[in-house]
Amino acid sequence: MRLATTRAILGDLIGFPSVSSQSNLAIIHYIAERLETGGAQVEVMLDESGQKANLFATLGAPRSGGLVLSGHSDVVPVSDQDWSNDPFVMREDGGQLYGRGACDMKGFIAACLASLDTLSAAAQTRPIHFAFTHDEEVGCLGAQSLVKLLAARDVRPALCIIGEPTSMQVYDGNKGCCEYTVCFEGLPGHSSAPDKGVNAVEYAVRYINRLFDLRAELVARCPPGSRFDPPETTLNVGALHGGVSHNVIASRAELNWEMRPINAADMQFVKDAIATYVADTLLPEMRAIAPEAGIATETVGEVRGLEPMDDNAARDLVFALTGQNHAGCVAFNTEAGLFQAIGMDAVICGPGSIEQAHKADEFVTLDQLSQCLGMLERLGEPH
Ligand SMILES: [Zn+2]
């Protein structure tokens, strides 16, 4: 019965083409109505544009210590993907439900909405909250403003389950994701007189070499027993553009690089180290020749990861709910670290496989959905 309801709600949710570039208001209003009908107190928070919204809802009397069920309402685009059917019309075939967002992560949201009766019962002992955000797929923008709001409140939840597709396995860690674009402005000139110019490509290369040195330091900083793969914080130089010709001193270079930190301390370590190198070494040398030369860093996105902790009450709760006793670490980024950053315990466990996420013919199986329903149902039982 509950599975049939989940299937019907998932069909409705897939029908909203809530691609990150579009407004998500229609799907948020649909979810809000379901939650209100189920007895939840619902808040819809618009962003500055008025076109995007986060939803935060509460079952049970408002008090601290509640559990948040968290998901994102946006999906990745379908353009340039070869779908067998309309990605925004759910199709069922052999126990698999197809459609954009089926596993990432409308399946989890549908299971939550289909379980409001049992969750209401569970909320008698501990408040149950729902956090459904916008723009997760483009840098966790919605969750960043939502956690700020939660952190400022007197009544605060304590635990969070993020229902990203993990095939219902338990994960208590994910690396963060930080992306930077660095522009080097030099001074052009004839290549026969390199001392009269400032070669932006050369400074970009020295910056990159500093990143490579930091890589070795990050390996040395890696805590023993790290469960990430690879275990340490990684850096990637993704693109370098610059210069015009063989015989011209390059006046401009642009570097795109990213970091996948295993913890907040590594993230700060890399940022400080590279900023010091720029301020104390590169900039003084550039400006000794051309005062107008410079290095400008744009932060494209900076989302901290979920740092694995020995004590994690959210993980222990999901262990009890699912009967598992082992937690892993995932390579993909989630909103979990943002909740951890405001002092909550967070864990990742949801229906469907990341293998199917972001691809053509994305699907979730009915079996995965019923496992998720089982987890939510057991929230009402003593454990
Ligand atoms: Zn996702």
Catalytic residue list: 74, 136
* Cα 183 to middle of ligand 1, angstroms: 31
Residues 44-101: tens digit of each pLDDT: 999 999 999 999 999 999 999 999 999 999 999 998 899 999 999 999 999 999 999 9
Query: Exposed/middle/buried for 276, CB within 10 Å: 0-12, 13-18, 19+?
Result: exposed
* Cα 97 to middle of ligand 1, angstroms: 17
What is the C-alpha separation between 144 and 343, in angstroms, rounded? 14
* Cα 73 to middle of ligand 1, angstroms: 9
What is the C-alpha separation between 249 and 184, in angstroms, rounded? 13
* Cα 198 to middle of ligand 1, angstroms: 44
What is the C-alpha separation between 334 and 260, in angstroms, rounded? 12
| pLDDT of 383 | 62
* Cα 110 to middle of ligand 1, angstroms: 14
Residues 301-333: tens digit of each pLDDT: 899 999 999 999 999 999 999 999 999 998 788
Residues 11-38: tens digit of each pLDDT: 999 999 999 999 999 999 999 999 999 9
* Cα 327 to middle of ligand 1, angstroms: 19
Average pLDDT score over the chain: 96
Q: Which residues surround ligand 1, an ion (CB under 5 A)?
A: 104-105, 164
* Cα 105 to middle of ligand 1, angstroms: 6
Residues 239-253: tens digit of each pLDDT: 999 999 999 999 999
pTM (2 d.p.): 0.88
- Residue 94, phi then psi, degrees to nearest 5: 55, 45
Residues 263-296: tens digit of each pLDDT: 999 999 999 999 999 999 999 999 999 999 999 9
What is the C-alpha separation between 263 and 176, in angstroms, rounded? 8
- Residue 361, Ramachandran bin (φ over 0: left; ψ between -120 and 50: alpha; else beta): left
What is the C-alpha separation between 292 and 315, in angstroms, rounded? 53
- Residue 330, phi then psi, degrees to nearest 5: -100, 155
* Cα 137 to middle of ligand 1, angstroms: 7
* Cα 75 to middle of ligand 1, angstroms: 8
- What's the pLDDT band for 168 if we cut at 50, 70, 90? very high
DSSP letters along 10-43, please?
HHHHHTS--BTTS--HHHHHHHHHHHHHTT-EEE
Total Cβ atoms within 10 A of residue 19? 19
- What's the pLDDT band for 381 if we cut at 50, 70, 90? confident
* Cα 102 to middle of ligand 1, angstroms: 10
Cα within 13 Å of Cα(26), Cβ side: 11
What is the C-alpha separation between 224 and 27, in angstroms, rounded? 44
